[in-house]
Amino acid sequence: MAKGRQANQELTEVLNKLWRLDSNRLKPGTDYVISLQGKAGYVTQGTNNAKDCAHAPLFSYVNEEKLKTIKTYEHFINLLDNYEMSTGVSETVTSEEMKENKLFLNAIMETDVMKCAHDYLVKKGQSPSDPAQFKKQLYDIWFRLYHRDRSGGEDSCGFEHVFVGETKFGKEIMGLHNWIQFYLQEKRGNVDYKGYKARDNKDRPDEDDHMLNLQFSWKGLVKPIGGSFIGVSPEFEVALFTIIFLMSTEKMTSVVVKVDEYMLELVVYRHGQSIGTSFPKLLSSNNRDL
């Protein structure tokens, strides 16, 4: 763990409560299987020639039938094809896509995870107690369109950046921190997993870990390092990053928390009243310093 950085005790407590309530989290080795393979090397952003230290996909199995039976996953997956990949290209939100956004929010609002997050934010004076008003707040944080590339129109939103992924000038991957999108893109041949990221060989993560730092290419562009939860539900990630976002007014917020066995740095960038980006970084797991 980075020297001088202590876990935020209050956020650690509430996020562990969310973790315990995440009944829709998938079980490693049962609901999905990952293959970590080799440790990825150093590569700079915008480079396309990263050494491939993993010749097989990251996901060797995911129980897609189970995904289809859980409402939050079903509605989440429906959102993944609603966006233009490149910044600078204005997004057009159809009435059908607007409906899909609302169905997703309705579904996650029914979960114990989001109810817990809502209760906490109300107690902290950061969210309205009325569920309908809280849902509107969530919509503005995650789905309100804004200008990411100043040369274009409203070309981005928090959900697209974090969960779907974007490219900048066709040269750089931005976002794409979600394991479900990663798996589906990998299955279609758009994502090539290059290996896990760790400081040295003795810090190799476990294949039952729910958090991973990794390197990959997406449609030919390399992401040198990205952090992603593995197997967690969409509502868990939305709840966690909504709390971090609303508990700070800084342009960039970085907090260290210990969730289950993982010491994490959770990073959120603000774009006005919406999320610009949010992602986890694994600092250590099972008392291993990474």
pLDDT in tens, 99-138: 888 999 999 999 999 999 999 999 999 999 999 999 999 9
Q: Considering the domain boundaries, does residue 233 fall inside one?
A: yes
Residues 6+ apart with CB under 8 A from 285: 205, 206, 209, 211, 261, 262, 263
Number of domain units in the chain: 1
The two three-digit tokens of residue 42, written as one number: 């150093």
**pLDDT value of residue 1:** 38
Q: Considering the domain boundaries, does residue 160 fall inside one?
A: yes
Q: Considering the domain boundaries, does residue 2 fall inside one?
A: no
**pLDDT value of residue 82:** 59
Q: Say what percent of the chain tops pLDDT 70.
A: 83
Q: Over the chain, what is the mean pLDDT? A: 86
Give dist(CA 241, CA 270) in Å, integer.
11
**pLDDT value of residue 3:** 42
Q: Out of 33-47, 125-139, 219-233, which region has the weakest mean confidence (pLDDT)? A: 33-47
Residue of 137 and 158 predicted with greater confidence: 137
pLDDT band at 173 (very low <50, low <70, confident <90, very high): confident
Judged against a pLDDT cut of 80, whether residue 200 lies above it is answered with no
Judged against a pLDDT cut of 60, whether residue 150 lies above it is answered with no
Residue of 143 and 26 predicted with greater confidence: 26
Q: Out of 15-24, 134-143, 201-210, 225-234, which region has the weakest mean confidence (pLDDT)? A: 201-210
Domain containing residue 113: 9-22+31-289
Q: Considering the domain boundaries, does residue 245 fall inside one?
A: yes
Q: Return the active site residues.
A: 161, 177, 223
The SS3 assignment for 11 reads helix
Q: List pLDDT tens digits, range 57-102.
A: 999 999 999 999 999 999 999 988 855 554 444 445 677 778 888 9
The pTM of the full predicted model, rounded to 2 decimals, is 0.90
Burial of 118 per CB tally in 10 Å (0-12, 13-18, 19+)? buried
**pLDDT value of residue 88:** 43
**pLDDT value of residue 153:** 56
Q: Considering the domain boundaries, does residue 1 fall inside one?
A: no
Residue of 118 and 201 predicted with greater confidence: 118
**pLDDT value of residue 43:** 75
**pLDDT value of residue 154:** 57
Query: Which of 44-48, 146-150, 175-179 holds the top average pLDDT?
Result: 175-179
Cβ atoms 206, 153 nearer than 8 A: no
Burial of 134 per CB tally in 10 Å (0-12, 13-18, 19+)? buried
**pLDDT value of residue 139:** 93
Judged against a pLDDT cut of 60, whether residue 16 lies above it is answered with yes
Judged against a pLDDT cut of 80, whether residue 267 lies above it is answered with yes
**pLDDT value of residue 67:** 93
